[in-house]
Amino acid sequence: MYCVRNVTEDLYWIGANDRRLSLFENIHPIPEGVSYNAYVLTDEHTVLFDTIDWSACRQFLQNLEYVLDGRPLDYMVINHLEPDHGASIEEVLLRYPDVKIISTPKAFMLMRQFDFHIDSHELIEVKEGDTYSFGKHKVTFVAAPMVHWPEAMVTFDLTNGVLFAADAFGSFGSLDGKLFNDEVNFDRDWIDHARRYYTNIVGKYGPHVQLLLKKASTIVDQIRYICPLHGPVWRSDFGYLIDKYQHWSTYEPEEKGVMIAYASMYGNTEAAAGALAAKLCEKGMTNVVMYDVSNTHVSYLISETFRLSHVVLASVTYNLGIYPVMHNYLMDMKALNLQNRTFAIIENGSWACKSGDLMEKFLNEELKNMTVLSQRLSLASSLKAEKANEMEALADAIIESMAEQK
Ligand code: FEO
């Protein structure tokens, strides 16, 4: 049975959801699943825009067959061939052997690397600025290298203003029938999925996203729909989405607020983190969130770190080093190129307390444009009453630095 939605009169969403996959890319938890989006245009020629993951291939093929309604499939445009999209390319080729594939030379190279058998089919290589007509609809191709793979491109339909955006503007989360951004409460129900998707999957490549945004800005008044490969299709409120992408891709925080990430073995460092949170709120800074790094997947920590302006790292010393899961979080910040945050440090050690110096050294030497407040709270095993003044001073330093920022 098919499950399709019209995007426009002659463009159909024919994707599918995967609610069974627990780890996207076998690393990021997706408790609410993910959608793989593909689209078919039924012009004088029929055109498939991207395919989907193996896991939902059957649904996708049924959708494709239904929309084609006996017509042949003439073209397949591959904007992004990473296997969560490209894995079904060969299945399409088997069923529609005369289909011509339109993509970038790098994508064809990668298809061969993945052992997709494409070479007995007609391959049409395109590059930045090329155009192609399918009948009424004329499209142009825009290179989007490293957003977030090297072969990626986006396709813009000059006739109806549809932007096929590949992974850009995508999101974790499955679609429960609702396809368009104006059918959901995106800011309430989707933004955390979208942020965690962007920051962990594409986050490293902010400068490349900036280049794509720059290209998009030249046609923004012509864009009517943004069709990403995951999550809702956008047909309104583009400014909201582009503003988020602007913040994320320039590594600027969305909000003034404090994330307290703590690593605690027996609850004492956690107690200090909790006391600081209460002190900040008492002083009027209530945009405070706390995360136990041992019990929070690092993808969530990264997403929140992209959102907020200030981060408190509270860590025990472990084997004379930083607690391993806290270290992993720091390493992920580095891998994802995170910048421009203000940090405060709480360290703990029952003897030879090292974690504070080591975290500060990492922030200063391994990451870019990070500010570490000089006020630090050092604990010997537990938080004692005599540390009240230091706690007060730490909260004040965080709030003062926030006030100094734009
Ligand atoms: Fe959704 Fe880069 O694949």
Ligand 1 pocket residue status of 327, Cβ below 6 Å = no
Q: What is the pLDDT of residue 203?
A: 98
Rounded Cα distance, 25 and 375, in Å: 39
If asked whether residues 321 and 192 sit together in one domain, one would say no
Residue ending a domain, among 215, 249, 283, is 249
If asked whether residues 242 and 329 sit together in one domain, one would say no
If asked whether residues 171 and 143 sit together in one domain, one would say yes
Instruction: Flag whether 254 is in a domain.
Output: no
Ligand 1 pocket residue status of 53, Cβ below 6 Å = no
Residue-by-residue DSSP string for 333-392:
HHHTT-BS-EEEEEEE-SSS--HHHHHHHHHHHHSBS-EEEEEEEEEBSB--GGGHHHHH
φ/ψ (deg, to 5) at 8: -130, -175
Ligand 1 pocket residue status of 208, Cβ below 6 Å = no
Q: Residue 217, exposed/middle/buried by CB under 10 A (0-12, 13-18, 19+)?
A: exposed
If asked whether residues 270 and 143 sit together in one domain, one would say no
Ligand 1 pocket residue status of 167, Cβ below 6 Å = yes
Ligand 1 pocket residue status of 18, Cβ below 6 Å = no
Atom of ligand 1 nearest to the CA of 83: 3
Torsion of CA 33, 36, 42, 48, to 10 degrees: -170
372 strand-pairing partners: 343
Ligand 1 pocket residue status of 82, Cβ below 6 Å = yes
Atom of ligand 1 nearest to the CA of 167: 1
If asked whether residues 168 and 35 sit together in one domain, one would say yes
Residue ending a domain, among 205, 230, 249, is 249
The count of domains in the chain is: 2
Q: How far is the CA of 190 from the centre of ligand 1 (A)?
A: 18
Give, in order, the Cα–Cα distances in Å from 335 to each of 329, 331, 339, 361, 370: 10, 6, 11, 17, 15
Residue ending a domain, among 195, 220, 249, is 249
If asked whether residues 177 and 80 sit together in one domain, one would say yes
If asked whether residues 318 and 339 sit together in one domain, one would say yes
If asked whether residues 208 and 295 sit together in one domain, one would say no
Instruction: Flag whether 175 is in a domain.
Output: yes
Atom of ligand 1 nearest to the CA of 201: 2
If asked whether residues 129 and 241 sit together in one domain, one would say yes
Q: What is the CATH number of the domain that holds 324?
A: 3.40.50.360
Give, in order, the Cα–Cα distances in Å from 30 to each of 26, 57, 186, 257, 372: 10, 19, 17, 25, 33
Q: CB count, 10 Å around CB of 250? A: 14
Rounded Cα distance, 365 and 380, in Å: 26
Show pLDDT as tens, one digit a residue, over the chain (406 residues).
999 999 999 999 999 999 999 999 999 999 999 999 999 999 999 999 999 999 999 999 999 999 999 999 999 999 999 999 999 999 999 999 999 999 999 999 999 999 999 999 999 999 999 999 999 999 999 999 999 999 999 999 999 999 999 999 999 999 999 999 999 999 999 999 999 999 999 999 999 999 999 999 999 999 999 999 999 999 999 999 999 999 999 999 999 999 999 999 999 999 999 999 999 999 999 999 999 999 999 999 999 999 999 999 999 999 999 999 999 999 999 999 999 999 999 999 999 999 999 999 999 999 999 999 999 999 999 999 999 999 999 999 999 999 998 7
Cβ–Cβ under 8 Å, residues 28 and 297 = yes
292 strand-pairing partners: 262
Instruction: Flag whether 390 is in a domain.
Output: yes
Rounded Cα distance, 107 and 82, in Å: 9
Atom of ligand 1 nearest to the CA of 36: 1
Cβ–Cβ under 8 Å, residues 81 and 53 = no
Which residue range is the domain that position 238 belongs to?
Answer: 5-249
